[in-house]
Amino acid sequence: MVSAVDIITYIGIPLAVLGVLPTIYTVLKSYFTLRAISKSLQRNGVIAITRSALLSGIVEIEIPRRSIIPLERGDPKYFGLRENASGLRGGSWTTFWWKEMVIGVKSYRLQYHDELSQPQAEIEFEALIAFLLDRGAVPSKEGWADLRGAGLWTPAGTKLLLSPVSGEEVLSVAMSDDSDGILSLSLNWRREWDTRSTDSLPPYWTRMKPARVEEDVLRKMEELERPQVEEVKEVDKKGGFLDDDSAKSEDIAAFRSPVRVRINATGIQEAYKEDDAKKKLMLLHLRPIPSSNDSNAGFWFCCAATAFEAPQGGLWSFSIPEDVVAVARRETVPSGVMVLLGAVNDDEVPTWRTPYDDQADRFEKHVKFVESSRKMNEENRLPPAERDAARRRRIEQEARDFHTDFQRRRMREDQRREAEIGEAMQSRRLPIPVVAEANRKWLIQKFGLAENMTLMALIEQVMYGMANDVSLARRLAVMLDLWKNWAQSGGMTKSHYLAVKEDQIVFSLASFVLYVIRSTVSEPTGSVVGDLQECLRMWKKVRLG
């Protein structure tokens, strides 16, 4: 006989057990998921609050979102790597050390532990790029062009910065599921890519080293001009067009060490000598001084320094104004002027002057000779007493003629030179690279320097000289202002030519400055930098993870 108890025991209990099994399963599963997640979080160094709703099988996690900024450059950890970086999705920023600040909390609801990820960190884009360039990463031309063109639609995986040794990505565009409409990036770095240290030149800085003695244009220039310095001071007292000799403000002798200068959007921010990094150089003559008519020396220095570092770094905050770039791109120096200055030969440029025709001179000479012979013949036919008087008169006349001829010839010579200058102004204009190269050769010959001195070595000397020597900085600025002036006002005139001729060495040095400005816009790196800078302007903050 089957009793009710038996039915409950043999059918009801198993049924009930079967009924709660799924619940037991869910509870166990979420327990293990929670454990796996907690372990995973711990292993990756992520601090989080975890909760599990046991019956629903969902694990809830709250992880703080951080805002990060690079450490001070002097901090030993700045060039270090974290030992246990997070391998979770969204955690690649933990590769490096940062200054961190919690700015919010992100909640996750997970069913499986492999869905685990962590919030990306928020960072200022420019600070991130400056830091990674400082670590040695190299901008990728295509990457920045893509990002500039496609913005948020740039495909995930697009490489923006590459490793210094292989072509592997350092910074690339990431999936945007955690980015809330902000640009999302991810980071990758290996210890073996670290080649730089605190001594390396960080972005925004320019380094100039003094030339070796046998290549030192500036020293030779100073030697050449030393005797004239006294005269200049004479003029100074009377006319007062040069400032007093506060000129050599910072001790030159103590200055012969590489100099580093940091340039921000408005000009020089700070500077120091490498052999005395603690002492800041003021470089007052290169600082912009508002509401004074001081020269543009600081402005031109910043243009030159920015262009000089461009191929090496790829990040700066000073932007060379468009009109200056336009001047450097234009053809601004007539070839005839370069010939008259002795920097190029006539056969290196198209014909520009009317050849001098001496036919008239020869004819005139001939007429005079015939006339003189005729007179001598006539004299010979005269009686002896009259003959002497006639000869005397003839000789006196000839002397007077000779004198007026000489003056006439000199006047004609002057006219010819004037006409030549006029023709030179009209001759075909040369682009800056040709002018700079001709000036380089001229300068090397003038000072007997090593033939293989490059334009880049010379431009470095120019910048070094501008930092060092107040009067050179002013003269260069005056010359460059003059150059810009004639380039923008329809070309060189005679007065420009005379000013150039007066200070031809400085004219040569100025052509190097324009050359380096021009080369930044034509080199391929110039365009990477253009795209990079534009992207930095578009995206102020990014999510990194």
Ligand X SMILES: *[C@@H]1O[C@H](CO)[C@@H](O)[C@H](O)[C@H]1NC(C)=O
Q: Which stretch binds ligand X (CB under 6 A): 136-144, 260-268, 329-337, 371-379?
A: 260-268
Instruction: List the one residue out of 95, 90, 151 whose CA is nearest residue 122.
Output: 90
- Would you say 196 and 136 are in contact if contact means Cβ atoms under 8 Å apart? yes
CA-CA distance, 373 to 366, in Å (whole number)?
Answer: 11
243-251: Cβ within 8 A, 24+ apart: 243/474, 246/470, 247/469, 247/470, 247/471, 248/469, 248/470, 248/471, 249/282, 249/284, 249/285, 249/470, 250/281, 250/282, 250/283, 250/468
Residue 44 beta carbon to ligand X: minimum distance, rounded to whole angstroms: 8
Residue 425 beta carbon to ligand X: minimum distance, rounded to whole angstroms: 27
Q: Dmax of the chain from CA atoms? A: 190
Q: Which amino acid belongs to residue 253?
A: A
CA-CA distance, 182 to 69, in Å (whole number)?
Answer: 17
Nearer to ligand X, 110 or 453 (CB): 453
Residue 155 beta carbon to ligand X: minimum distance, rounded to whole angstroms: 33
CA-CA distance, 57 to 318, in Å (whole number)?
Answer: 57
Nearer to ligand X, 148 or 262 (CB): 262
C-alpha distances out from residue 113 to 34, 110, 438, Å: 8, 7, 70
Residue 266 beta carbon to ligand X: minimum distance, rounded to whole angstroms: 4
Q: What mask of x and - would describe binding to ligand X in positions 380 to 419, judged by CB under 6 A?
A: ----------------------------------------
Q: Figure out which of the listed residues 3, 84, 197, 246 binds ligand X, where binding follows CB under 6 A.
A: 84
Residue 216 beta carbon to ligand X: minimum distance, rounded to whole angstroms: 14
Nearer to ligand X, 46 or 492 (CB): 46
Q: Which two tokens stand for residue 107?
A: 């909640």
β-strands 184-187, 541-544 pairing: parallel
DSSP assigned state of 89: B
Nearer to ligand X, 249 or 527 (CB): 249
Residue 288 beta carbon to ligand X: minimum distance, rounded to whole angstroms: 9
Residue 478 beta carbon to ligand X: minimum distance, rounded to whole angstroms: 13
CA-CA-CA-CA torsion for 494, 497, 498, 504, nearest 10 degrees?
Answer: 180
Does an H or E element contain 171, and which? strand 169-173
Should residue 292 be labelled a site residue for ligand X when binding is judged by CB under 6 A?
yes
Q: Which amino acid belongs to residue 259?
A: V
Nearer to ligand X, 70 or 334 (CB): 70
Nearer to ligand X, 45 or 433 (CB): 45
Q: Which stretch binds ligand X (CB under 6 A): 62-70, 263-271, 343-351, 476-484?
A: 263-271
- Would you say 328 and 514 are in contact if contact means Cβ atoms under 8 Å apart? yes
Q: Which stretch binds ligand X (CB under 6 A): 138-146, 232-240, 265-273, 474-482?
A: 265-273
**Helix 504-522 / helix 297-309 crossing angle, nearest 10 deg:** 40
CB contact set of 296 (below 8 Å; sequence gap of 6+) = 477, 480, 481
Q: What mask of x and - would describe binding to ligand X in positions 179 to 218, judged by CB under 6 A?
A: ----------------------------------------
CA-CA distance, 444 to 435, in Å (whole number)?
Answer: 14
Q: What angle do CA 480, 486, 492 make, to 5 degrees?
A: 115
Should residue 319 be labelled a site residue for ligand X when binding is judged by CB under 6 A?
no
Residue 263 beta carbon to ligand X: minimum distance, rounded to whole angstroms: 8
Should residue 450 be labelled a site residue for ligand X when binding is judged by CB under 6 A?
yes
Q: Figure out which of the listed residues 265, 376, 389, 419 binds ligand X, where binding follows CB under 6 A.
A: 265
Q: Figure out which of the listed residues 4, 452, 490, 502 binds ligand X, where binding follows CB under 6 A.
A: 452
Nearer to ligand X, 287 or 391 (CB): 287
C-alpha distances out from residue 108 to 48, 67, 105, 113, 254, Å: 11, 19, 10, 11, 62
Residue 279 beta carbon to ligand X: minimum distance, rounded to whole angstroms: 16
Nearer to ligand X, 359 or 452 (CB): 452
Nearer to ligand X, 83 or 347 (CB): 83
Residue 440 beta carbon to ligand X: minimum distance, rounded to whole angstroms: 13
C-alpha distances out from residue 238 to 100, 233, 242, 474, 503, Å: 63, 9, 10, 20, 21
- Number of residues lying near ligand X (CB under 6 A): 11
- For ligand X, the binding residues in 38-77 under the rule CB under 6 A are 45
Chain residue whose CB lies nearest ligand X: 45
Residues near ligand X (CB under 6 A) are: 45, 83-84, 264-266, 269, 292-293, 450, 452
